[in-house]
Amino acid sequence: MMKFFTMCLIFASMHTLLYTCGGLQLSMVASSRSAPSRPRNKQTTRIERNIPFSTRSSSIATGKKNKFSSVPSTLISQLACMALKRRLKSQDSHVSCDLTTDPNTILFGRIGPVTVKGRSWESPLGLSCGAIEATVAECVLDMGKVFSKQKLVLKTPAEGRAMVALSATDFGNFITHPLMKPPSPPQITSTHAADNNNKNILVFLRKDVSIDPSSGQVTFYGTYGGSKWKFILQRAISNINNGGKKALIQATLVEPSSSSSEEDRIQDTDAIKKGLTETTSKFFNEMIFELDGTFLSFDDMMLTEKGTKPSVMLSLRIKVKKFPSSGLQF
């Protein structure tokens, strides 16, 4: 009797082993037939947002082996697109988020590279651009808050680069945006102008911006000391002799102040022109534009005629310490 039970147990164990191995073999064959050509240990997720949220869908490119790890990557992409879309004025704006994840590290919050692309962006306060592409090499997220609060929270700052295409209208919106603080040039020494201290503030003007790719110049205007000034922005030919500057701005007087005497105008114009040229050039090269925890700084520029209208392409360094608050308007 004992021998009979022993043989039954052996037979059952062999049956279980054969069934498991057979299932594993079938699973491996199926995986080998359907596996994509990209490396198995990583996946890429792409989410696009350019139509109403109720009808939007996401497309995910990933191997079957990583189908469970695609859930958090899809969620992260969706949250990023939704957060950006909520801060844009137009529902016609296009937003997409591409991210690469490793199933071995995503549950620890490590993802990257992450690339956000957009077209026809405009914020409620008028900040706009024709196109944008921003990439960070790696993000470290608090996955607990990603799942529990449906919120993207960074554990460490993420750094990368961005390319922004600005039309003449976009550039005017940029230099006059409420978060953009113009530089403070040297104070006017004229006895007539000094009586009115509010004239010692440089104010950029939104209108009459022009972009000329043939000359490589962006022309815009501002007021200072009661006078109207023209500013010509262009890429530095050689930044070695310009203190490392990659952009230069030249200021020129357009309309003198009507309250100043002819003597004061002659005396002040050269000094103010030099001061405005130096301070605006330094300001643009050292510019740091902050959007509630996201910092953009100038790196380089070029002008192009591609597209429906001329545009200036700004290369920016980006540092994200935290994602902008949901109630923030920029």
Predicted local confidence at residue 133, as pLDDT: 96
In this structure, is residue 8 part of a structural domain? no
Predicted local confidence at residue 34, as pLDDT: 41
Predicted local confidence at residue 187, as pLDDT: 65
In this structure, is residue 149 part of a structural domain? yes
Q: How confident is the model at residue 69 (pLDDT cuts 50, 70, 90)?
A: low
Predicted local confidence at residue 60, as pLDDT: 34
Q: What's the DSSP call for residue 258?
A: T
Residues 145 and 187 in one domain: no
- pLDDT (average), residues 219-248: 86
277: enclosing H helix or E strand: helix 262-285
In this structure, is residue 89 part of a structural domain? yes
Q: Which residue has the tokens 């062999």?
A: 14
Residues 184 and 279 in one domain: yes
- pLDDT (average), residues 297-318: 94
The terminus-to-terminus CA distance of the chain in angstroms comes to 84
Predicted local confidence at residue 217, as pLDDT: 97
d(CA 303, CA 230): 19
Predicted local confidence at residue 323, as pLDDT: 82
Position 169: which residue type? Answer: T
Residues 297 and 161 in one domain: yes
pLDDT in tens, 170-220: 999 999 999 888 888 766 554 444 444 556 789 999 999 999 999 999 999
Predicted local confidence at residue 307, as pLDDT: 81
Predicted local confidence at residue 95, as pLDDT: 92
The whole domain housing 260 covers 180-285
d(CA 310, CA 211): 6
In this structure, is residue 47 part of a structural domain? yes
CB atoms inside a 10 Å sphere around CB 186 = 13
Pairing verdict, β 227-235 and 59-61:
unpaired
Predicted local confidence at residue 42, as pLDDT: 64
Residues 299 and 153 in one domain: yes
Residues 273 and 311 in one domain: no
Predicted local confidence at residue 141, as pLDDT: 95
Residues 150 and 247 in one domain: no
User: Are 267 and 182 spatial neighbours (Cβ–Cβ below 8 Å)?
Assistant: no
Q: Which of 31-40, 51-60, 200-209, 253-262 has the highest mean pLDDT?
A: 200-209
* Residue 223, strand partner residues: 203, 228
Nearest by Cα to 178 from 199, 204, 201: 204
* Residue 220, strand partner residues: 231
User: Are 24 and 53 spatial neighbours (Cβ–Cβ below 8 Å)?
Assistant: no
In this structure, is residue 16 part of a structural domain? no
The answer to whether residue 262 scores a pLDDT higher than 80 is: no
Residues 62 and 200 in one domain: no
- Report phi then psi at 153, rounded to 5: -125, 125
Query: Lowest-confidence range among 20-29, 36-45, 315-324?
Result: 20-29
Q: Which residue has the tokens 């869908």?
A: 57
Predicted local confidence at residue 22, as pLDDT: 40
pLDDT in tens, 1-30: 444 444 444 444 444 433 334 443 333 333
Residues 161 and 190 in one domain: no
pLDDT in tens, 130-184: 999 999 999 999 999 999 999 899 999 999 999 999 999 999 999 999 988 888 8
In this structure, is residue 116 part of a structural domain? yes
Q: Which residue has the tokens 């490396």?
A: 39
Gyration radius of the chain's alpha carbons: 29
C-alpha torsion 174→179→182→183, nearest 10: -130
Predicted local confidence at residue 198, as pLDDT: 54
pLDDT in tens, 144-154: 999 999 989 99
Residues 77 and 140 in one domain: yes
Number of domains in the chain: 2
Residues 188 and 273 in one domain: yes
The answer to whether residue 118 scores a pLDDT higher than 60 is: yes
In this structure, is residue 48 part of a structural domain? yes
Residues 150 and 250 in one domain: no
Share of the chain above pLDDT 90, in %: 44
Residues 300 and 231 in one domain: no
In this structure, is residue 147 part of a structural domain? yes
- pLDDT (average), residues 38-59: 48
